[in-house]
C-alpha cells in the first residue's frame, strides 16, 4: 500500500523527496491543502478539522499510514487525532519526534527517561501556530533535561514560498534569525520546525553562522520511516501507484512545486 504524506502546501515535498530517495520502491501519495494554506496562522480547531479531513482523503487512496509532513498539523492536531479520532487499523505519524530524537541523539523509539544532552541551547524557527502550541518543548521534555529553547515565529515565510517568491522568503528568514539572536545570541543548534524551511537552509545557516548546527526534517523523517516500516511490514506494499494531489489549482501548484524542488512535479486536483 502507498504511504500518505500530508502538508498544508508544498513544504512537505522536502519530506516526500527525502522519503522517495530513501525508499525508492515505496509508493507515496502526497496531498497538499494549498486551498487553505498556510496553517500556521489558523486556530487549533480549523487545523484539526482540515488535517482530519485530508487524512481521510489519503485513506481513500489506500494509505493506511499517513505522515503529517506539516509541523503545524503535527504540533496542533496529531496528539488529539491519536487519542480521540484515529481508528485502530490506521496510523498517523508526525515529524516532530524524529527531529527531537536526532537533536538529543536518541535512537528511534527510545522511551528511556529524560537525560542531559550535549545541546543545551536550541533555536526553534516555526510557524506562529507551532510556536504557540509549545509541542516542541513538550516532546523535548520527555527526552532531555537542561535544554533552553528560544522559539521564533516566522510569519510570512510560508506565504512567500507558496507564492514562489524566494527572494522575499530569504529576506524574512534573515529578519527572523536576527530577532531570535537578540534573545539567544549563541544557540548550539537550530531547528527548522516547518517543512517549507529546508529549501532555505543555506539562508538560515548563513544568518546563524557556521558554528550552529541546523537541523531540518527530510532525511531524518525518511530514516525514521524506514525503521518504522521495517518494524511494521504490514504497512509496506506497492499495490497502488503514487501521485501528487492538491486542493488548490493544479497548474499553479505544479509550477510552484517544480520550482520548489528543482524538477518537474505534476499535481492533480483532489
Mapped onto helix, strand or coil, the DSSP state of residue 235 is helix
- pLDDT of 238 higher than 80: no
Provide mean pLDDT across the span 17-27.
95
pLDDT score for 1 = 86
Which residue in this structure is represented by grid cell 518543548?
A: 137
Distances (CA, A) of 92 to 52, 107, 222: 10, 20, 15
Confirm whether 52 is a catalytic residue: no
Cβ–Cβ under 8 Å, residues 25 and 54: no
Q: What is the DSSP letter of 162?
A: H
Radius of gyration of the chain (CA): 17
Give 98-215's CATH code, choosing from 3.40.50.1860, 3.40.50.620, 3.30.470.10, 3.40.50.150.
3.40.50.1860
Listed in sequence order, the residues at least 6 apart from 83 whose beta carbon sits closer than 8 Å to its beta carbon are: none
Q: What is the DSSP letter of 73?
A: H
Which residues face 30 on adjacent strands?
A: 5, 244
pLDDT score for 111 = 82
Cell numbers linked to 76: 496542533
CA atoms within 13 A on the CB side of 200: 31
> Shortest CA distance to 54 belongs to which of 39, 66, 41?
66
Cis peptide before 62 (omega within 30 of 0): no
Q: How many Cβ atoms are within 10 Å of 186's Cβ, its own excluded?
A: 10
Provide mean pLDDT across the span 179-200.
97
- The band of 221, judged by pLDDT with boundaries at 50, 70 and 90, is very high
The catalytic residue among 52, 63, 154, 194 is 194
Q: What percent of the chain has pLDDT over 90?
A: 92
Question: Do the domains at 3-96+218-269 and 98-215 have one common CATH topology?
Answer: yes
- 237 sits in which H/E element: none
Listed in sequence order, the residues at least 6 apart from 43 whose beta carbon sits closer than 8 Å to its beta carbon are: 129
Q: What is the pLDDT of residues 87-106, one digit of tens each?
A: 999 999 999 899 999 999 88
> Shortest CA distance to 190 belongs to which of 164, 172, 170, 210?
210
- The band of 252, judged by pLDDT with boundaries at 50, 70 and 90, is very high
Rounded Cα gap, residues 71 and 221, in angstroms:
12
Confirm whether 194 is a catalytic residue: yes
Q: Where are the domains of the chain?
A: 3-96+218-269, 98-215
Angle between the N-to-C axes of helices 166-183 and 201-208, in degrees from 0 to 180, rounded to the nearest 10: 30
Q: What is the pLDDT of residues 116-140, one digit of tens each?
A: 999 999 999 999 999 999 999 999 9
| Burial environment of residue 238 by CB neighbours within 10 A (0 to 12, 13 to 18, 19 or more) | exposed
Rounded Cα gap, residues 246 and 115, in angstroms:
42
pLDDT score for 145 = 95
Which residues face 214 on adjacent strands?
A: 190
Fold of 3-96+218-269: Rossmann fold (3.40.50)
Mean pLDDT of the chain: 95
Q: What is the pLDDT of residues 156-178, one digit of tens each?
A: 999 999 999 999 999 999 999 99
Amino acid at each position: 500500500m502507498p504511504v500518505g504524506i500530508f502538508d498544508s502546501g508544498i513544504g512537505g515535498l522536502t519530506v516526500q523527496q527525502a522519503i522517495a530517495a530513501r525508499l525508492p520502491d515505496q509508493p507515496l501519495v502526497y496531498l497538499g491543502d494549498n486551498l487553505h494554506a498556510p496553517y500556521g496562522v489558523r486556530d487549533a480547531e480549523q487545523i484539526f478539522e482540515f488535517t482530519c479531513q485530508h487524512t481521510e482523503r489519503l485513506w481513500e487512496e489506500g494509505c493506511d499510514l499517513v505522515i503529517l509532513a506539516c509541523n503545524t498539523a503535527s504540533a496542533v492536531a496529531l496528539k488529539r487525532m491519536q487519542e480521540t479520532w484515529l481508528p485502530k487499523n490506521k496510523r498517523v505519524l508526525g515529524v516532530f519526534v524524529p527531529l527531537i530524537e536526532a537533536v538529543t541523539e536518541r535512537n528511534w523509539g527510545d522511551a528511556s527517561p529524560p537525560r542531559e544532552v550535549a545541546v543545551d541551547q536550541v533555536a526553534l524557527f516555526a510557524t506562529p501556530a507551532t510556536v504557540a502550541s509549545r509541542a516542541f518543548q513538550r516532546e523535548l521534555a520527555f527526552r532531555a533535561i537542561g535544554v533552553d529553547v528560544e522559539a521564533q515565529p516566522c510569519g510570512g515565510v510560508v506565504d512567500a514560498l507558496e507564492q514562489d517568491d524566494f527572494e522575499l522568503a530569504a529576506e524574512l528568514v534573515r529578519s527572523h534569525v536576527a530577532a531570535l539572536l537578540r534573545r539567544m545570541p549563541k544557540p548550539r543548534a537550530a531547528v527548522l520546525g516547518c517543512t517549507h524551511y529546508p529549501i532555505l537552509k543555506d539562508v538560515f545557516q548563513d544568518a546563524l553562522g557556521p558554528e550552529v548546527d541546523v537541523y531540518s526534517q527530510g532525511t531524518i523523517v525518511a530514516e525514521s520511516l524506514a525503521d518504522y516500516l521495517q518494524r511494521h511490514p504490514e504497512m509496506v506494499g506497492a499495490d497502488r501507484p503514487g501521485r501528487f494531489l492538491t486542493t488548490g489549482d493544479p497548474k499553479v501548484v505544479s509550477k510552484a512545486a517544480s520550482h520548489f524542488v528543482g524538477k518537474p512535479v505534476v499535481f492533480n486536483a483532489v
